[in-house]
Amino acid sequence: QGFAIPKEAQGKVAKFDFHGQPAELKHGSVVIAAITSCTNTSNPSVMLGAGLVAKKAHELGLQ
């Protein structure tokens, strides 16, 4: 789909080291961020939703 990202930018790759191993993120890569305790206390339903998304992602093979 592209999600409003210009075609010439969709091929960009961000390379970095993760725990001493080379890694890269491309357009369409999925990143799950940590949810802080303030999110948990201010809106617990968001925490529950994030947990369900993470569970499903793991079931589909995300490691």
The series of mean pLDDT values per 10 residues for the chain, 63 residues long, is 79 92 87 64 77 87 80
Does 13 map to a domain? yes
Does 1 map to a domain? no
Does 2 map to a domain? no
Boundaries of domain holding 31? 7-59
Number of domains the chain contains: 1
Q: Is the separation of the CB atoms in 23 and 31 below 8 Å?
A: no
The rounded distance, in Å, linking the Cα atoms of 60 and 14 is 24
pLDDT given for residue 10 in this prediction:
86
Instruction: Tell how far CA 31 is from the center of its chain.
Output: 1
Beta strands at 21-26 and 13-18: parallel, antiparallel or unpaired: antiparallel
